[in-house]
Structure 1
């Protein structure tokens, strides 16, 4: 999964109140029947699953867009001229302590990935929201140890909202000594 911006100290506490503003730039999201409630549920699950931190209430903006806009963002911010599933743009902690940042999700890419993985789009999108939220909270997956920690938190958050573990098949293959 994609990430944006550098890691930084996490600014909020597990279980802290979270305000999620949802902005829709792509009509495909309406057809996907992704309700605001499901999206907020995933964002809050990430916050609850992350280790306890200092701070209080916080806000995040979730932008639901398409591949064209996502490709532009990915090219400008990451130097990659392709669409990606999710980008996280952490806020400047000094400038606005209550605002975690922006998450941007691409409809077409998320839909294709869900289909390829054989999972419901709603489950995959909630996984992407949780993954992106963890980036906003300062987690990354550049090193194996960090990736394992992040996956563990994702699994806890996903289980708390009834979404199947997206890493289970890869784990089974690894333990069996084959590539997933």
Structure 2
């Protein structure tokens, strides 16, 4: 089950139906990762910089906004509560301009990035980063979505 909470109305200015878009893209990712049969519970917070700044400071001691944060709760198993993903519309807009990517592509990429974190992928070590980036690139290419180069 995918739970969506839209905390910032700015999302409606950049995506026609943000809730539907996010649910659809998460379900596609679960299929591509071959884990849809687990039916994990994933909560998505669609917020702005002020919320992501607060969460980043509180949970990572980083005094700045960020584009995506993931909070994993349970390991993947049938009907588990996999975790929360929070994304900032303000960061997505700014980064879409900076990286010359569409809002939809960048949102899709950041949701995938957050989902992979929930599944235990990381980019703290070079080998982990390479593995995570390869999987991101593979899935984005399969879906014909331009991966944002950050």
Taking structure 2 as the reference length, the TM-score comes to 0.87
Specify every segment of 5 or more residues in structure 1 that has no aligned partner in the other structure, as ranges: 1-18, 171-180
Whether 1:86 aligns to 2:86 is no
Higher relative contact order (CA 8 A, sep 6+): 1
> In the alignment, which residue of structure 2 is the partner of 1:116?
98
Whether 1:154 aligns to 2:143 is no
Count of matched residue pairs: 147
Conserved 8 A contact 2:41-2:83: yes
Conserved 8 A contact 1:45-1:158: no
Specify every segment of 5 or more residues in structure 2 that has no aligned partner in the other structure, as ranges: none
> In the alignment, which residue of structure 1 is the partner of 2:48?
66
**Structure 1 residue 40: deviation in Å?**
2.3
Judged with a 3 Å threshold, the aligned counterparts in structure 2 of structure 1 residues 92 and 165 are, in CA distance, closer, same or farther, namely closer
Judged with a 3 Å threshold, the aligned counterparts in structure 2 of structure 1 residues 103 and 63 are, in CA distance, closer, same or farther, namely same
**Structure 1 residue 130: deviation in Å?**
0.2
Judged with a 3 Å threshold, the aligned counterparts in structure 2 of structure 1 residues 148 and 46 are, in CA distance, closer, same or farther, namely farther
Whether 1:43 aligns to 2:58 is no
> In the alignment, which residue of structure 2 is the partner of 1:21?
3
Q: CA RMSD in A?
A: 2.2
Runs of 4+ in structure 1 deviating by more than 4 angstroms, as ranges, are: none
Judged with a 3 Å threshold, the aligned counterparts in structure 2 of structure 1 residues 149 and 46 are, in CA distance, closer, same or farther, namely farther
SS at structure 1 position matched to 2:114: helix
Taking structure 1 as the reference length, the TM-score comes to 0.74
SS at structure 2 position matched to 1:22: strand
Conserved 8 A contact 1:46-1:154: no
